[in-house]
Chains A and B, each alone.
Chain A
Amino acid sequence: MTEDEWEPKILVFCCNWCSYAGADLAGVARLQMPTHFRVLRVMCSGRFKPEYAFKAMEQGIDGVFVLGCHIGDCHYLEGNHRAKKRFEVLEDMMVHLGVEPGRIKIDWVSASEGVRFQAVITEFVAHIKELGPSPLGGGR
């Protein structure tokens, strides 16, 4: 595949209670957005661990996006707190490693925010397109 043909592959972790419903709402409302992402539903953003980001990027994923309920709205009370704290450490790791920390992102989308889902996804995909293929692909 040549440089021109490259299209990003993005993995989006959506929590079952807010963000997945938000994504669903965006779909039902026929909101247009890029199609470079695959959604992986998890019960809570707290289910996300940095290990998944490493594994995904090793296997050729160019960007990892984690979406959960807004802070204070977590169905499990504090799952998104955990996700947020883990993410901060993960970002620091990316910096020390020399990989653009912008390849990973965490944000909050509630079940009623279909429009917001469209907006954050569009923005993230555009950012990853700008960054180009992940240097971690292939994992060596």
Chain B
Amino acid sequence: MSEEARGVVAEVLAKGEVDGVLGLREDEGAVGPHYFRKGDDLDSLVLSPKYALPLVLRWFRLHSPDTRVGAVLRGCEERALVELSKRRQVDLEMIEVIGLACTAEEAKECGCVNGSPTNVMIGTPTEGLPERREFLALPDADDGARLDYWKAQYSKCIKCYGCKNVCPVCACEVCMMADHGWVRGGSLPPKFATFHLIKAYHMADRCIECRECEAACPVSIPLTEMYGRLLRDVERRFDYVTGADPEQRPPLLTTLMDEPILEEEEEGGG
């Protein structure tokens, strides 16, 4: 599929509607994000391993807002981009998504239910993905077994910050998880009420279920079991689906009547 991608990216660059294309490049065995420009050698462009590019796109809005950039993105990355744009971290007007459809194996590995990006230019969308995600059954809450389950899971944490660093929608300037006022330094495991629950609360209206955090977690904490459940709650309560409509404002940033909160409008916060 890399060969197909090189052809598509070359075509997009040749058309000249974008100044460059953000993708992945393999360099001496290591893969990382790279900004390809017209005339660049595209042989080093690769598609895997999966690496979330939306936070890299944030750089353009901050440091080079007039650059029109193309980006090779998977379905989950496109949804992350939508969430970032609602929080004014990226400018969708300046980004052309070159949709990459994951292969059936990749989709299965991620437990993907959401599928391909809107504008697939590379690969073929996988048909027949499950419609809804199946959650693990949680122990009963009444006798404390459910809390014990979470305590056991969260107590495995070695505070590597992998879940935060890999998350394509974590975009705060200052992270509460790294603030010693919130999470005391120098002890393991971190107290989960402030470390994991704060992260979970922040994910409730922005997680796009790429499950990169779970893939990154070295001790296999089922992080998205909590995030995913909260997403369903937010969908039920506020009729809000993350990553879907760029025009719909996040429900925690609107009034009870779904109107924008004035200070946010004026100051561009989020």
Could you list which residues of chain A lie within 8 angstroms of chain B, going by C-beta atoms? 50-51, 54-55, 57-58, 71, 77-78, 81-82, 84-86, 88-90, 92-93, 95-99, 135-136, 139-140
With contacts A81-B261, A82-B252 known, is A54 near B198, CB below 8 A?
yes
Contacting pair B149 A98 (CB below 8 A): yes
Binds A, one of B42-50, B98-106, B186-194: B186-194
Identify A90's interface contact among B189, B201, B229, B255, CB under 8 A: B201
A-contact 0/1 string along B109-124, CB 8 Å cutoff: 0000000000000000
A51–B196 alpha-carbon span in the complex (Å): 11
A140 to chain B, nearest CB (A): 7
Identify A98's interface contact among B141, B193, B197, CB under 8 A: B141
A81, A85, A90 interface centre (most CB from chain B within 10 Å): A85
A55, A92, A98 interface centre (most CB from chain B within 10 Å): A98
Contacting pair B237 A96 (CB below 8 A): no
B227 to chain A, nearest CB (A): 10
A-contact 0/1 string along B238-252, CB 8 Å cutoff: 100000000000011
Identify A71's interface contact among B141, B182, B251, B256, CB under 8 A: B256
Contacting pair B146 A51 (CB below 8 A): no
Classify the interface of chain B: helix, strand, loop or mixed: helix
B138, B146, B189, B201 interface centre (most CB from chain A within 10 Å): B201
A137 to chain B, nearest CB (A): 10
Number of B residues with CB within 8 Å of any CB on chain A: 39
A51–B252 alpha-carbon span in the complex (Å): 14
B178 to chain A, nearest CB (A): 14
User: Chain B contacts of A136 at CB under 8 A?
Assistant: 147, 193
A66–B24 alpha-carbon span in the complex (Å): 48
Q: Can you report 15 A-B residue pairs in the complex whose CB atoms are below 8 A from each other?
A: A51-B182, A78-B261, A85-B251, A89-B234, A89-B237, A90-B201, A93-B226, A95-B141, A96-B230, A97-B147, A98-B141, A98-B146, A98-B150, A139-B191, A139-B194
Q: Which residue of A lies closest to B190 (CB)?
A: A139
Contacting pair A58 B201 (CB below 8 A): no
A124–B95 alpha-carbon span in the complex (Å): 51
A121–B202 alpha-carbon span in the complex (Å): 29
Identify B233's interface contact among A78, A81, A92, A97, CB under 8 A: A92
A59–B138 alpha-carbon span in the complex (Å): 26
